[in-house]
Amino acid sequence: MVELVVSDIMSKVSDQRAHVLLLREKDGLRKIIVALGLLEAQAIAFALRNVPTGRPLTHDLFGSFAAEFGIELQHALINRIDDGTFHAQLCYKQGTDVRVIDARTSDAIAIALRAAAPIYIEEELLNRMCVQDEHNGAISIPITAADEATLRVAMDNAVKEENYELAMKLKEEIDSRHKVDPGCDTVENDN
């Protein structure tokens, strides 16, 4: 596992309601991008900036509940990606009992920040999903990070631009997300 820290929260230029969270490895240069909605971005920003709220927000309440019952958050772990969506787990300890709970990545990060618990990602997933900073300020993401609809649009554009090598890579990624049952003529989606 590789520890991550929150590097930045940005709103997408084309849609002020959509945000991206930039996470970077604590002791390195690799970064990943996580798509967020407005409320998720706000919850993470409040935790980062220690913004006081009059009443506890859901993530605060979750932490208070755990603390009241002697449950300690050990860490959050981003452990997989499906169709462009990261998935995470929260690892809790109560006495000698350790429990792992499935969580949305944005919730796991918001809760971990409030609990001052580390955020990790599986090494292989970071290697596969890390972004590269381009010279003109744009960020390049791996095709495995995009959802299928985005991949199909990009594939259509690549064909129109006669970039058949890219179109083939995009098609291979789309096809890899579907399993074919040898006993059937239909394609079954993993999701």
Query: What pLDDT tens digit does each residue of the chain (191 aa) get?
Result: 999 999 888 876 555 667 888 899 998 888 888 888 888 999 999 999 988 888 988 999 999 999 999 999 999 999 999 878 899 999 999 999 999 999 999 999 999 999 999 999 999 999 888 876 555 555 556 666 667 777 787 788 778 888 887 778 778 778 877 755 444 444 444 44
Same domain, 156 and 130: no
Which residues are paired to 76 by β-bridges?
90, 119
Same domain, 103 and 173: no
- Distance (Å, rounded) from C-alpha 57 to C-alpha 177? 36
User: Does residue 139 form part of some domain?
Assistant: no
- Distance (Å, rounded) from C-alpha 94 to C-alpha 66? 9
Q: Quick one: pLDDT at residue 17? A: 63
Q: Quick one: pLDDT at residue 143? A: 64
CA-based nearest residue to 75, from 50, 42, 41, 103: 103
Q: Quick one: pLDDT at residue 8? A: 86
Q: Quick one: pLDDT at residue 190? A: 44
Same domain, 106 and 179: no
Same domain, 98 and 156: no
- Distance (Å, rounded) from C-alpha 127 to C-alpha 81? 13
Backbone angles phi, psi at 77, to 5 degrees: -135, 120
User: Does residue 141 form part of some domain?
Assistant: no
Same domain, 105 and 166: no
**Block residue for tokens 């000698």:** 96
Tokens found for residue 62:
């979750």
Q: Quick one: pLDDT at residue 184? A: 47
Same domain, 125 and 183: no
Q: 152, 143 in Cβ contact below 8 A?
A: no
Structural domain of 174: 146-189
CA-based nearest residue to 24, from 51, 3, 52: 3
Q: Quick one: pLDDT at residue 15? A: 55
Same domain, 103 and 166: no
**What number of CA atoms fall less than 13 Å from residue 110's CA on the CB side?**
23
- Distance (Å, rounded) from C-alpha 113 to C-alpha 54? 19
User: Does residue 46 form part of some domain?
Assistant: yes
With H, G, I as helix, E, B as strand and everything else as coil, classify residue 142.
coil
Q: Quick one: pLDDT at residue 6? A: 94
Same domain, 184 and 112: no
CATH number of the structural domain spanning residue 102: 3.10.690.10
Same domain, 33 and 119: yes
The tally of domains found in the chain comes to 2
pTM of the entire structure? 0.71
Gyration radius (Cα) of the chain, Å:
19
Q: Quick one: pLDDT at residue 59? A: 92
Q: Quick one: pLDDT at residue 149? A: 74
Domain end marker among 97, 113, 134: 134
Same domain, 125 and 185: no
